[in-house]
Amino acid sequence: MKPFPELRPAPWDLAVVAAVLTLALFCGVMVWGGAATGLTAIVTADGEEIDRFPLSAPAGERTYSAGGYTLTADVSPDGIQITASDCPTQDCIRTGRISRSGQSIVCLPARFILRLEGKTEINSSGVDAVIG
Ligand SMILES: [Zn+2]
């Protein structure tokens, strides 16, 4: 009635080790990843999602067609900005670079919205000071 009592603690030990390792990994990602970690860019045109990608994707330019206009977004791990657009107002370009969750670039003539979503609450705990 006592089947291998000495084996019982083993799974718990493993669970504890796994939990500690997971925590350590999370901490490491937060420290190394900086502000942009976990951010997702969501692009909509005329209310429909046309693109979605993590900000950690390889840096480069992405071109979108929306409302008859063409917008070029410069994507890098530390933010996104519209660098070229043939819309009449150019507000989307003047918005500049966005890099935080909840920020967005709107191009009204093109009915184009590029917004960032994700966990940037980490920023409020002092990462900004490191960047400066
Ligand atoms: Zn525009």
Band of pLDDT at residue 124, cut at 50, 70 and 90? very low
pTM for this model (two decimals): 0.63
Residue 58: CB atoms within 10 A of its CB come to: 8
User: What does the domain layout of the chain look like in residue ranges?
Assistant: 9-121
Checking if the pLDDT of 44 tops 90, the result is yes
Q: Is 108 helix (H, G, I), strand (E, B) or coil?
A: coil
Residue 26: CB atoms within 10 A of its CB come to: 10
- Could you tell me the distance, in angstroms and rounded to a whole number, from the CA of residue 118 to the centre of ligand 1? 24
| Amino acid identity for residue 23 in this structure | L
- Could you tell me the distance, in angstroms and rounded to a whole number, from the CA of residue 119 to the centre of ligand 1? 27
- Could you tell me the distance, in angstroms and rounded to a whole number, from the CA of residue 86 to the centre of ligand 1? 7
As a whole number, mean pLDDT of residues 41-47 equals 97
- Could you tell me the distance, in angstroms and rounded to a whole number, from the CA of residue 63 to the centre of ligand 1? 13
Band of pLDDT at residue 12, cut at 50, 70 and 90? confident
Fold (CATH) for 9-121? mini-chromosome maintenance (MCM) complex, domain 2 (2.60.320)
- Could you tell me the distance, in angstroms and rounded to a whole number, from the CA of residue 111 to the centre of ligand 1? 9
The whole-angstrom separation of Cα 53 and Cα 72 is 15
What is the per-residue pLDDT for 5?
Answer: 58
Query: Over the stretch 77-86, which tens digit does the pLDDT of each residue have?
Result: 889 999 999 9
Q: Of 26, 54, 20, 21, nearest to 122 (Cα)?
A: 26
Query: Over the stretch 56-82, which tens digit does the pLDDT of each residue have?
Result: 888 999 999 999 999 999 999 889 999
Q: Mean of the per-residue pLDDT values for the chain?
A: 83
